[in-house]
Amino acid sequence: MGKIIAIANQKGGVGKTTTSVNLSACLAHIGKKVLLIDSDPQGNATSGVGINKGDVQDCIYSILIDDVPVKDVILQTEIENLEIIPATISLAGAEIELVSTISREVRMKHAIQDIKDQYDYIIIDCPPSLGLLTLNALTASDSIIIPVQCEYYALEGLSQLLSTVRLVQKHLNDSLYIDGVLLTMFDARTNLGIQVIEEVKKYFQDKVYRTIIPRNVRLSEAPSHGKPIIMYDSRSKGAEVYLELAKEVVENE
């Protein structure tokens, strides 16, 4: 038990953090025990669940670089069933510092091995690069969710991501698989969005989630209130679709 899912795409602004925060909160909402790992130095997932980064002592950096035990870093969020390993800006140094570290790609995997079974889901929010932080996340994970923004150049960069996934499968984690591609920020008013959906479905076929995340202003407002969408506005379209995604993720197992 305890499924680990990396939310990854080296492109910035495609909805990784929004998906990490809201999928985690929605899984917690339907009764799953969830750990969110913020693996992006920007720490937006951390503040997105209401943690003040200024108050954080140890973060994922301490686990990866200083071998601080995971249990000393986990924080409870205001959301029932949802805990977090936060990130702070100190993590920015980890990408470089990891280079010269023993077993640099498997540090996250080893660190969370012992706590894995305490959760139904562990969701890892990856940074916008294919560096060592993302490699650590993919090596530690059972599967990967790839958010793809319904915009021009949606597929750009995905071949690079897929070849990284194949390299990880070959050398570091042979059981890693693609859970699904998640279409985000869809705007039904434009033809472009519809074209992108068709294009992505042609490429990824049944790997595309049935749930499509529309552009929803409430989703973009929620982080500044430090709340996942189901707490910020439970009746919004954003809350509805992320709850639907959570159910689809559970169903897919």
Write each residue from 188 to 227 as x if it is in contact with ligand ADP (CB under 6 A), else as -, in one continuous string: -------------------------x-xx--xx--x----
Q: Which is nearer to ligand ADP, 20 or 139 (CB)?
A: 20
Quick check: 13 binds ligand ADP (CB under 6 A)? yes
Write each residue from 7 to 46 as x if it is in contact with Mg ion (CB under 5 A), else as -, in one continuous string: ---------xx-----------------------------
Q: Which is nearer to ligand ADP, 32 or 223 (CB)?
A: 223
Name the binder of 193 from ligand ADP, Mg ion, none, CB < 5-8 A by kind. none
- 140 by Cβ neighbours in 10 Å (0-12 / 13-18 / 19+) ranks as buried
- The distance of closest approach from Cβ of residue 27 to ligand ADP in the complex, given in angstroms and rounded to an integer, is 17
- The distance of closest approach from Cβ of residue 8 to ligand ADP in the complex, given in angstroms and rounded to an integer, is 9
Give residues 82-141 in contact with ligand ADP (rule: CB under 6 A). 128
Q: Which of 3, 16, 29, 109 binds ligand ADP (CB under 6 A)?
A: 16
Q: Which of 5, 6, 17, 47 binds ligand ADP (CB under 6 A)?
A: 17
Name the binder of 109 from ligand ADP, Mg ion, none, CB < 5-8 A by kind. none
Residue 226 CA, chain-centre distance (Å), reads 17
Q: Which of 6, 8, 18, 143 binds ligand ADP (CB under 6 A)?
A: 18
- Total residues at the site for ligand ADP (CB under 6 A)? 17
DSSP secondary structure string for all residues of the chain: --EEEEE--SSTTSSHHHHHHHHHHHHHHTT--EEEEE-STT-HHHHHTT--GGG-SS-HHHHHHH---GGGT-EE-SSTTEEEE---GGGGGHHHHGGGSTTTTSHHHHHHHTTGGG-SEEEEE--SSSSHHHHHHHHH-SEEEEEEESSTTTTTTHHHHHHHHHHHHHHT-TT-EEEEEEEESB-TT-HHHHHHHHHHHHHHGGGB-S---B--HHHHHGGGGT--HHHH-TTSHHHHHHHHHHHHHHHT-
* Binding-site ranges for ligand ADP (CB under 6 A): 12-18, 44, 128, 184-185, 213, 215-216, 219-220, 223
* Binding-site ranges for Mg ion (CB under 5 A): 16-17
